[in-house]
Amino acid sequence: MIIMIRAFRASLKFYGIFAFCVCLVASFPVSLRAAEGVNDLPLLFDARERIAKPDLSGLARLRFLTTVDFPPFNFIDQSGKLAGFHVDLVREICHELEIDAKCQIQAVTFAELQPALEGGQGEAVIAGIGTSSELRQRFAFSRTFMKLPARFAANRQVMAGALSVASLAGKPVGTVSGTTHEAMFKAFFPKLESRSFPSRDAMLAALKQGSVAAVFSDGMQLSFWTAGSDAAGCCALIDGAYFSQRFLGEGLAVMNRKGDSALTQAIDHALLELSRKGRLNEIYLRYFPAGIY
């Protein structure tokens, strides 16, 4: 999962930082849509649930560690300030816990995140680290606040306006060779024709040219690519966001040290309240106005 997230970080630089700024539940594919609108963040919290807020009066400070190279989650804006979805979420978490004065957020490199947390240079990490069984042996994690979906993007001309998964029958679908998305596609859609490409660039070039009818890849990357100048309006997302814990991991969460159980519970409490009050969705729409689901 860490490898996938780091590859995603590198690919974001290809699409441009400033462009960002203006589970396998069963053996079949699961498409998750928002409860209220197609652009909304899918609900990951039960509004009827209650998570008690622990006493944080003894907390001297709460330092969140992040990076600057994962837009639109965390990046340096045009004024030179740290900004992004994660930065705004930290502010909301601290406000919900009524500890604004004790909260800090500081950036380190991705490689420094885990050593810095273990070394006491921060109390929590919010930087796009996906949870995994290996990391759970060393760290504690909050509840997942966002899942990163897989999506189909299709060539409008090749599909002749029929932008649906059912319309892909008998048409080639591109994937990047050796990736988790290729494995997920073959597991979820065994009857569809797969055509592998050595790189994401090659796959997207083939989609734009129409040599494949569609591609199956990271939904966030595809949402920005289809809306960007590189695609030049050639292509569009097909309805349906697909999730798989087996292939894509559990999603994004806040990581902290295992001994800080009260902090983990406090962050879970804040995330639940932010979801219930709609503020988590507001932050999501601020940075993903077109939606990724």
| Mean of per-residue pLDDT scores for the chain | 88
For residue 289, say if its preceding peptide bond is cis, omega within 30 degrees of 0: no
pLDDT band for 9, please (50, 70, 90 cuts). Answer: low
**Predicted pLDDT at 38:** 55
Query: Which amino acid, residue 246?
Result: R
Rounded CA-CA distance 293/231 in Å is: 19
Q: Is 77 left (phi over 0), alpha (psi -120 to 50) or beta?
A: beta
User: What is the fold of 150-240?
Assistant: D-Maltodextrin-Binding Protein; domain 2 (3.40.190)
Residues 6 or more apart whose Cβ sits within 8 Å of residue 43: 34, 35, 275
Class for domain 2-23+44-147+250-287, per CATH? Answer: alpha beta
pLDDT band for 6, please (50, 70, 90 cuts). Answer: very low
* pLDDT of 61 strictly over 70: yes
**Predicted pLDDT at 24:** 28
Rounded CA-CA distance 23/262 in Å is: 28
* pLDDT of 18 strictly over 60: no
CATH topology identical between 2-23+44-147+250-287 and 150-240: yes
Residue scoring higher pLDDT (140 or 42): 140
Rounded CA-CA distance 32/23 in Å is: 10
Query: Which amino acid, residue 227?
Result: A
The domain segmentation of the chain, as residue ranges, is 2-23+44-147+250-287, 150-240
Q: Please state whether beta strands 103-107 and 124-125 pair in parallel, antiparallel, or not at all (unpaired).
A: unpaired
Rounded CA-CA distance 106/100 in Å is: 15
The distance of Cα 247 from the centroid of its chain, to the nearest Å, equals 14
**Predicted pLDDT at 130:** 78
Contact 287, 84 (CB under 8 A): yes
Q: What percent of the chain has pLDDT over 70?
A: 87
Q: What percent of the chain has pLDDT over 90?
A: 79
Q: What is the pLDDT of residues 180-192, one digit of tens each?
A: 999 999 999 999 9
pLDDT band for 29, please (50, 70, 90 cuts). Answer: very low
Query: Which amino acid, residue 22?
Result: V
Q: What is the pLDDT of residues 214-266, one digit of tens each?
A: 999 999 999 999 999 999 999 999 998 999 999 999 899 999 999 999 999 99
